[in-house]
A and B are shown apart, each in its own frame.
Chain A
Amino acid sequence: MLNISGLKEGIVLDHIEAGRSLDIYYHLGLDKLECQVAIIKNARSNKMGRKDIIKIEGGLNTIDLKVLGYIDHNITVNIIRDNKIIEKKRLELPERITNVIHCKNPRCITSIEQGLPHIFYLSDRDTETYRCLYCDEQYGKTQK
């Protein structure tokens, strides 16, 4: 059994699909933070079999919940204060995401104008499909 010290104040991202924690670490820009971050891979889970967990020291403003919602809206976000869970945040698929995924359509205007943001809108909630705001190129969640 691996022991990771408790968190006095911060965020615990729980129920991350096993093996995805490093992706999330970089997507959320956690590598750029000065605070302590613990990544736990392949933790045992009754619900999932195996799961990843990320513990982040600090306030909720350290992470972008929209990005997290896009990556996996089934992740549990626990807010910790004084070593206790004081709130569980519910994630949703965001209507719009900016600069999280990039349009790969060579005919899209974003392919030649480097300064443009890569904006995707949610076109189908059931299939979790996003499309480029400019060219409508489709990005299913399996392509992220």
Chain B
Amino acid sequence: MKSIRHLLNPLDLSVEETDALLDLASDIEHNLPKYAHVCDGKKLATCFYEPSTRTRLSFESAMLNLGGSVLGFSSADSSSAAKGESVADTIRVISCYADICAMRHPKEGAPRVAAEFSSIPVINAGDGGHQHPTQTLTDLLTIRSLKGRLDNLTIGFCGDLKFGRTVHSLIHAMVRYPNIRFVLISPPELKIPEYLRDDVLRANHIEFKEVGNLDEALPELDILYMTRVQRERFFNEEDYIRLKDCYILDCKKMKLAKPDMFILHPLPRVNEISVEVDEDPRAAYFKQAQYGVYVRMALIMMLLEVEKPC
């Protein structure tokens, strides 16, 4: 039986496969009409057990751009999960209806469970605070497109580095490229998890520092990756309120940054980037959302083994 390829973790793709995927995404960006029918007749199921506007719509937009169609649900309440159905049973049923599935779930590891029982490719579209590989691919494409490289970079992550799965996934992916430095900017309560610090950064001899002050970190960064402090990741509302506005990037702070530093953000933003920064040419977060569509198009093509058109 032919093995099915899933994407559960950014490291499921080798560096070579990642680079090939980003090449395809770049080609899609510059030749969009060429790809308009490569997935004609194919269906994408978007199984979203928790609210997400942009990731879900980005997947749907990607499949529609490829000529395919989409079906799915956008909250656990509107699926059989509300009746107590297991992830394993749900994916076995969805496998009968669609050719590929993008799954978001508040519980960590749910897409891995789905992949174990699925007969179609499963894409992890975010599982709790754990992994968000398509956001990582989006971030990689954005960085490579804007900076022209994925090596020799100093990348600052700012905000919620504890529960921010986009941060975890991007760190996993970036350590595979040469000469990457990280500046990890967060309050003590929201530092990166121990396993990332020990098993990923220290184990790979990656240069990094953990700081609390954004102003001091800004001048040395090539990329600043801002994150939102997510209310839904806290069990305690008081902790959320205390920490939610710990970093706010504004035009005054941007004066400290290099002229060719770019700001990324997985969106949605709340207060962490002042709207006045949107006019700064270094603000790349809306462009990043567009890259997200191209990279998801490339990923769907890769997992469905659709040939690149001439």
Residues of A near any B CB (own CB < 8 A): 105, 107-113, 115-116, 123-124, 131-136, 138
B186-205 CB contact bits vs A (8 Å, 1 = yes)?
A: 00000000110001000000
The interface residues of chain A lying within 8 Å CB-to-CB of B127 are 109
Q: Are A111 and B107 in contact (CB under 8 A)?
A: yes
Known: A107-B128, A107-B129. A138 touches B194 (CB 8 A): yes
Q: Are A116 and B113 within 8 A (Cβ)?
A: yes
Q: CB of B104 within 8 A of chain A? A: no
CA distance A136 to B128 in the complex (A): 12
Instruction: Pick the residue among A105, A123, A124 that contacts B108 (CB under 8 A).
Output: A105
B230–chain A nearest beta-carbon distance, Å = 12
Cβ-based interface call for B110 (8 A)? yes
Residues of B within 8 A of A138 (CB): 194-195
The one of B86, B109, B128 that contacts A132, using a Cβ cutoff of 8 Å: B109
Q: In the complex, are the beta carbons of A108 and B194 less than 8 A apart?
A: no
Q: Complex: how many Å from CA A124 to CA B199?
A: 8
Q: What total of A-B pairs shows CB separation below 8 Å?
A: 49
Would you call A131 and B195 a contact (CB within 8 A)? yes
Nearest-CB residue, chain B, relative to A114 = B86
CB-nearest residue of chain B to A132: B109
Structural contact, A109 and B195, CB atoms closer than 8 A: no
Residue of A nearest to B112 (CB): A134
- In this assembly, does B181 line the interface, its C-beta being within 8 Å of a C-beta of chain A? no
Nearest CB in chain B: distance from A52 CB, A:
32
Which of B87, B107, B112 has the most chain A CB within a 10 Å cutoff? B107
B194 pairs with A135, CB closer than 8 A: no
- Checking B113, B129, B194, B199 against A109 with a beta-carbon cut-off of 8 angstroms, the contacting residue is B113
> Is the CB of B105 closer than 8 A to any CB of chain A?
yes
Contact B109 A133 (CB under 8 A): yes
* Chain B contacts for A133, CB-based, 8 A: 109, 112
> Contact: B195 with A135, CB < 8 Å?
no
Q: Does B130 contact A (CB under 8 A)?
A: yes
In the bound assembly, the distance between CA atoms of A44 and B129 in angstroms comes to 49
User: How far is A123 from B194 in the complex, measured between Cα atoms in Å?
Assistant: 14
Q: Find out whether the CB atom of A108 lies under 8 angstroms from the CB atom of B107.
A: yes
CB pair A135–B199 under 8 Å, yes or no, is no
Given A136-B130, A138-B195, A108–B109 Cβ distance below 8 Å? Answer: yes
